[in-house]
Structure 1
Amino acid sequence: MESEYVMNKERHLFPGSNTSMGFHSFFQYIIPLNEAKRIFYIKGGPGTGKSFLMKKIGKVFSEKGYSIEYFHCSSDNESLDAVVIKELGIALLDGTAPHINDPKVPGAVDEIINFGVCLNESNLSKVKEEIMNVDNKIKDSFKRAYAYIGAAKKVHDDWRHHNSKALDKDKLRKLKIDFKNKIIKNNVDKNGSERHLFATAFTPNGIITYIDTIYKHCSKTYLLKGGPGTGKTELLNYIKEEALVNGYDVEVFHDPLNPERIEHLILPELDTALLTSSEISKLSLSDEVIDMDSLLNNDYIDSVKDLILEDSYNFYKLLDIGLKNLSNCKKLHDDLEKYYVDNIDFQCRDEISEKIIHRLLEY
């Protein structure tokens, strides 16, 4: 079946996120190895130009009309962890911690770009203790951020519990079946594939979402609106499995609070987006809205409304402290970068960058 879905020429996504479980990575879904023509893993210290090179390459090929996927870093959403030129099957990825990546099929598919050769190692060795001290502070700040995000998730679980007790399972079951029949009408003679990423992330700049760059070319958009525990996750899981069984590809975007839950679904071949508006994303769309709160028993909700209000207040308070600690991580990382920026040969870096760009243009 030929799809009318047109991929956005420019999409912005997160390949990983800071979550209640720590840093969670979906880097393996940036580009399938069997579909890639060339993958470059960029090595080098912070501030050595990895993100700069990826942005430059994205701009060059975007201006030539190619579809570009920009994968942002959740620890600094203004920096990139990867860029993909879709039509050429080419990707450049940050190969350093916390997402260390190395070639899987060296030479044949992937290779390393090493900006480390441009560093003045002699000078850096003189400030080794200072670098290690800042690095340890960054680790401690991340640990504290994850502790508070984890605490926020526990309070969120209690909030979810109250709504779940009020959820009418029969109404949810009927909604799932009706929704499936409305969206998935035909079988496709192939195996459906799934791709997992984040559209939303917890970052030093707060809660950042790029969902508007991902779904806007879908002609059919549904917004599931409701609090935690109102059946959004169950409905999205059901549609995902039904789509896969019927041979459709799915893009699964995960919840940054709990990456085991789904935040949004894109069904490219069905030209359809299933989005959620929650206590985190707070999306507001003019397309069809499905009020998941309508599945709740209002009498029960009224009886526990004070508990829910308390959970809501404490959830946002704890999450805010977690986000402030992520912001502190960024400030410390900026301090770390200064050591490397002061000790890099920019001419060497630029020469390597230009060689890579010229190679890619040959494709």
Structure 2
Amino acid sequence: MENDKKSVDFFLGAVGPGGFRGYFEQLGAEPGIQLYLIKSGPGCGKSTMMRRIAQKAGDPVERIHCSSDPDSLDGVILPRPFAAVLDATAPHTLDPAYPGAAEEVVSLYHTMDTKRLKANRAEIIALFRRCKCLQGRAARYISSAAELLADSRRTAAGAADMEKARAYANRLALRYLPRRGGEGRESIRLLSAVTPQGHKVFRDTIPALADTLVVFHDEYGACSSLLMETLRRLGLERGYHVVTCPCPLSEGKIDHLFLPELRLAFLTSNSWHPMEFPDQKNIHCTRFEAKDRLRCRKKRLRFNRRAAADLLAQASAMQCEAKASHDELEAFYGAAVDFSAVDAAAAALNAKLGL
């Protein structure tokens, strides 16, 4: 997937243990942002429109990818003007909370030949239902994997000195997060997700946002989760913009943090997303563990990891099947769209964005 020095790549939603979990509403709550919500059908030019906006923008942008098809965009975030253009259709359906003031709807429904779509009504409905069913199966596989990984995390936590880990996080903050004036703010992004391409991690985003990398090596996530939560809190208290990257497989667990003003990142490395970059500072979380207390549970932890890997592979397989059905939907809609009208709507949006 292409990347360049002007752009960073994230997800803003993914299929997780409870189904699709998105952070689009949190994006809309970021101070001063203007949202442009695109409404249309699959294969009607939304992703192409957003990709062209990213290419036209003179400033660095964030490209928000679709976890069901990482080669497709769900959004693009521009720093000047501070605005986001988003795919506002299912599964991340968005409607304006403050119409006109904070959001504008960009409807492309007028570009579709509804007579042609109605002629294929039965096939279209069946494909939408099949996609939803397959994504539901993927979520169940992910939920089962998440339970196993949570069991491993609880097991590791029982063998860890959490007070020692918390004290270490405070020392890291003294070193890397000098106090400053102003109020901190938080952005929520996903650096990884379970996708039809497997467990996808946007590694190129890391050096695009940070020069200083502090990497916590933690296979089970018990200590790194505490370290991340402490550093997140302290970063906000000390007035920084903190980009928080939650774990897509565990509610409330943080995998990574970026502090763009400091060109600093705190990262978690494990077998799911190993982190290997030049000059990174490595912190092995085994320093907080009582190794003898984990040794007797190694077979259980190894089983959990292997079984979770198999379950996540099945989840990706279900997403591949869902994508194949979605591709069929795109063929129906693409054949019923007037793309010259889409281009005209895109030109009008570009004008509003000053592109």
Q: Give TM-score, length-normalised by structure 1.
A: 0.90
User: Any residues of structure 2 matched to 1:223-238 within 5 Å, and which?
Assistant: 223-238=215-230
The alpha-carbon deviation at position 359 of structure 1 amounts to 4.1
Q: State the alpha-carbon separation in 1 of the partners of residues 75 and 94 from structure 2.
A: 11
- Which residue number corresponds to residue 289 of structure 1? 282
Alpha carbons 1:230, 1:293 under 8 Å: kept: no
89 and 155 in structure 1: CA distance in 2 versus 1, 3 angstrom threshold: same
Q: How many angstroms apart in 1 are the aligned matches of 2:342 and 2:208?
A: 37
For 1:351, the equivalent position in structure 2 comes to 344
Q: Where do 1:86-105 residues align within 5 Å?
A: 86-105=79-98
Structure 2 residue aligned with 1:23? 20
CA RMSD across the alignment: 1.9
Contact 1:44 1:116 in 2 (8 A): yes
Q: Does 1:42 align with 2:38?
A: yes
* Structure 2 partner of 1:129: 122
Distance 1:30 1:105 in 2: 14
Residue type at the aligned position of 2:202 = Y
User: What SS does the corresponding residue of 1:354 show, helix, strand or coil?
Assistant: helix
Partners of 2:166 and 2:284 lie apart in 1 by 15
Q: Distance in 1 between matches of 2:39 and 2:172?
A: 46
Moved more, 277-286 or 117-126: 277-286
Q: In the TM superposition, what is the alpha-carbon distance from 1:182 to its structure 2 partner?
A: 1.7
Contact 1:12 1:214 in 2 (8 A): no
Identity of aligned residues (%): 28
Shift of 1:219: 3.1
**Equivalent residue for 1:209, pick from 201, 207, 213:** 201
| Matched residue count | 350
User: What is the TM-score normalised by the length of structure 2?
Assistant: 0.92
Residue from 297, 300, 303 that aligns with 2:296? 303
| Code of the aligned partner of 2:113 | N
**More off after superposition, 107-116 vs 119-128:** 107-116
- CA drift of 1:99 comes to 1.2
1:71 CA displacement: 0.7
In structure 2, what is the equivalent of residue 332 of structure 1?
A: 325
> What is the alpha-carbon distance in structure 2 between the residues aligned to residue 102 and residue 226 of structure 1?
39
Check if 1:145 corresponds to 2:138: yes
1:11 alignment partner in structure 2: 8
Task: State the secondary structure of the residue aligned to 2:80.
Answer: helix
Distance in 1 separating the partners of 2:167 and 2:27: 35
Q: Tell me, what secondary structure is at the counterpart of 2:354?
A: helix
Q: Distance in 2 between matches of 1:166 and 1:33?
A: 39
The one-letter code of the counterpart of 1:194 is: E
Query: Which position in structure 1 is the counterpart of 2:108?
Result: 115
Counterpart-to-counterpart distance in 1, 2:211 and 2:350: 35
Give the residue type in structure 2 aligned to 1:221: L
| Amino acid aligned to 1:207 | H
SS at 1:69's partner residue?
strand
> For residues 86 and 234 of structure 2, what CA distance do their matches in structure 1 show?
32
Contact between 2:68 and 2:195, CA under 8 Å: does it hold in 1? yes
Aligned-pair CA distance for 1:183: 1.9
Aligned-pair CA distance for 1:31: 5.2
Q: CA deviation at 1:301?
A: 2.2
Pick the aligned partner of 1:241 from 233, 236, 245.
Answer: 233
The superposition leaves residues 258-294 of structure 1 with CA deviations (integer Å, 9 ceiling, x where unpaired) of 1421010112233321011123212222310000123
Q: Secondary structure at 2:282's aligned position in 1?
A: strand
Residue matched to 2:50: 54
Measure the CA separation in 2 of the matches of 1:174 and 1:356: 50
Q: C-alpha displacement at 1:256, in angstroms?
A: 1.2
Alignment deviations for residues 86-118 of structure 1 (CA, whole Å, 9 cap, x no partner): 122232111111111123333344322221111
Residue identity opposite 1:56 in structure 2: R
Deviation string for 1:124-175 (max 9, x for gaps)? Answer: 1121111111111111111110111000011112222322222133432332
Q: Which runs of 5+ in 2 are unaligned?
A: none
| Distance in 2, Cα, partners of 1:100 & 1:340 | 19
When structure 1 is superposed on structure 2, of 201-210 and 263-272 the one drifting more is 263-272
Distance 2:50 2:318 in 1: 27
The AA in structure 2 aligned to 1:357 is N
CA positional deviation for 1:231:
0.2
> Residue 193 of structure 1 aligns with which residue?
185
What's the CA shift for 1:233?
0.3
Is 1:267 matched up with 2:263? Answer: no
